[in-house]
C-alpha cells in the first residue's frame, strides 16, 4: 500500500514511460516479489543521475526484471553500454521483451550467473573502467561486491547501493541478527570508513547510498 508521502512524491515526479509501465505490470503478474522492482521515483532518479554524470559504461548487480537497467539505459544515450548481472535465468525473456519495447536492447548486455563469479570474470576481461555501478543483488554479499568492483570504477565514478536501510533494521536496537541485516550493516560501516570514497545515504525508498570514488 502506497503511503501519502510516497504518492505525493510520485505524483510530483516525472511519470514513467509506457515501456516501464509494461515492465512493472508484467513484474506484478509474473513474479513472486514485485516489490523488488525500483519503481517510478527511484527509476527516474537513476536516469537523471546517469544523465548528470554523463555515464556511458555502467555495471548493474541484480537485474530482476530489467526495470532499473532500462532507466539507466535511457540516460546513457545510444553510445551507452550496461553490463547487468542476474542469477535467475527464468527472468530473461521478460527482461529482453521490456528492453525491446523501451528501445534500449542494444545497450544492455545480460550476464546470467552468480554475481561474484561474473564480476571476477569481468575484472579479467573489461578493458575500460565503469562510470557507474548500481548494486542491488544479494544483501549478504554487498561487502564482497564492493571489494570486487572498487578497482573497476574510474576515479570520480560512482557506486549506488540500494536497500541500505533495510526497513530500518540496520539501526534497530538491538539490531536483528539475520544475515541480510548483518550484511548490509557491515557494508554501511565499511563504506563510511573507507578513505578512498565519499558517501551519503539518501532515505529514498529503502535507502540508497551514493558512493563517489575520490579523484
Ligand atoms: C532487488 S532485485 C533487483 C531489482 C532491480 N535492480 C530493479 O530495480 O528493478 C535483486 C535481484 O538480484 C538477484 N540476485 C540475488 N542474488 C544474486 C546473485 N548471487 N547473483 C546475481 N544476482 C543475484 C535476484 O535474483 C534479484 O532478481
- Note the pLDDT tens digit of each residue in 73-126: 999 999 999 999 999 999 999 999 999 999 999 999 999 999 999 999 999 987
Quote the mean pLDDT of the chain: 97
Q: What is the pLDDT of residue 188?
A: 98
CA distances to 44, 58, 175, 189 from 12, rounded to whole Å, are 12, 28, 35, 33
In the numeric block, which cell numbers belong to residue 30? 509474473
How far from the centroid of its chain's Cα atoms is residue 150's Cα?
15
Q: What is the pLDDT of residue 126?
A: 72
Q: What is the pLDDT of residue 82?
A: 98
3 state DSSP class of 139:
helix
3 state DSSP class of 195:
coil
Instruction: Please report the atom of ligand 1 found closest to the CA of residue 65.
Output: 9
What's the pLDDT band for 214 if we cut at 50, 70, 90? very high
- Half-sphere exposure at residue 165, Cβ-oriented, CA atoms within 13 angstroms: 12
Q: What is the pLDDT of residue 1?
A: 81
In the numeric block, which cell numbers belong to residue 189? 560501516
3 state DSSP class of 215:
coil
Q: What is the pLDDT of residue 127?
A: 77
139: CA distance to ligand 1 center in Å? 9
Average pLDDT on 51-69 reads: 98
Number of CB atoms found within 10 A of residue 198's CB: 12
Instruction: Please report the atom of ligand 1 found closest to the CA of residue 43.
Output: 8
CA–CA gap between residue 143 and residue 189 (Å, rounded): 10
Probe ligand 1: pick from 60, 87, 160, 162, max atoms within 8 Å of CB?
Answer: 87
Q: What is the pLDDT of residues 112-167, one digit of tens each?
A: 999 999 999 999 987 799 999 999 999 999 999 999 999 999 999 999 999 999 99
Probe ligand 1: pick from 26, 86, 142, max atoms within 8 Å of CB?
Answer: 86
Q: What is the pLDDT of residue 2?
A: 87
Q: What is the pLDDT of residue 19?
A: 98
CATH of domain 4-213: 3.40.50.150
With pLDDT > 90 as the criterion, what percentage of the chain qualifies?
A: 97
| Residues within 6 Å of ligand 1 by CB | 36-38, 62-64, 67-68, 85-88, 114-115, 136-138
CA–CA gap between residue 14 and residue 44 (Å, rounded): 7
Cell 536516469 identifies what position?
47
Q: Are 137 and 61 in contact (CB under 8 A)?
A: yes
Amino acid at each position: 500500500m502506497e503511503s501519502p508521502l510516497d504518492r505525493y512524491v510520485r505524483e510530483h515526479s516525472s511519470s514513467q514511460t509506457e515501456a516501464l509501465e509494461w515492465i512493472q505490470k508484467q513484474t506484478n503478474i509474473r513474479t513472486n516479489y514485485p516489490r523488488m522492482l525500483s519503481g517510478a521515483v527511484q527509476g527516474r532518479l537513476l536516469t537523471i543521475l546517469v544523465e548528470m554524470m554523463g555515464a556511458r559504461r555502467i555495471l548493474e548487480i541484480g537485474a530482476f526484471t530489467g526495470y532499473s537497467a532500462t532507466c539507466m539505459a535511457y540516460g546513457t544515450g545510444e553510445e551507452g553500454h550496461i553490463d547487468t548481472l542476474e542469477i535467475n535465468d527464468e527472468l530473461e525473456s521478460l527482461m529482453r521483451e521490456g528492453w525491446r519495447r523501451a528501445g534500449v536492447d542494444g545497450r544492455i548486455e545480460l550476464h546470467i550467473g552468480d554475481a561474484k563469479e561474473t564480476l571476477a570474470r569481468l575484472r579479467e576481461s573489461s578493458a575500460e573502467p565503469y562510470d557507474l555501478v548500481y548494486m542491488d543483488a544479494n544483501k549478504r554479499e554487498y561487502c564482497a561486491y564492493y571489494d570486487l568492483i572498487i578497482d573497476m570504477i574510474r576515479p570520480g565514478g560512482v557506486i549506488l547501493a540500494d536497500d541500505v536501510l533495510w526497513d530500518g533494521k540496520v539501526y534497530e536496537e538491538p539490531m536483528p541478527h539475520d544475515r541480510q541485516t548483518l550484511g548490509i550493516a557491515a557494508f554501511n560501516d565499511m563504506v563510511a570508513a573507507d578513505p578512498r570514497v565519499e558517501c551519503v545515504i539518501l532515505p529514498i525508498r529503502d535507502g540508497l547510498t551514493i558512493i563517489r570514488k575520490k579523484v
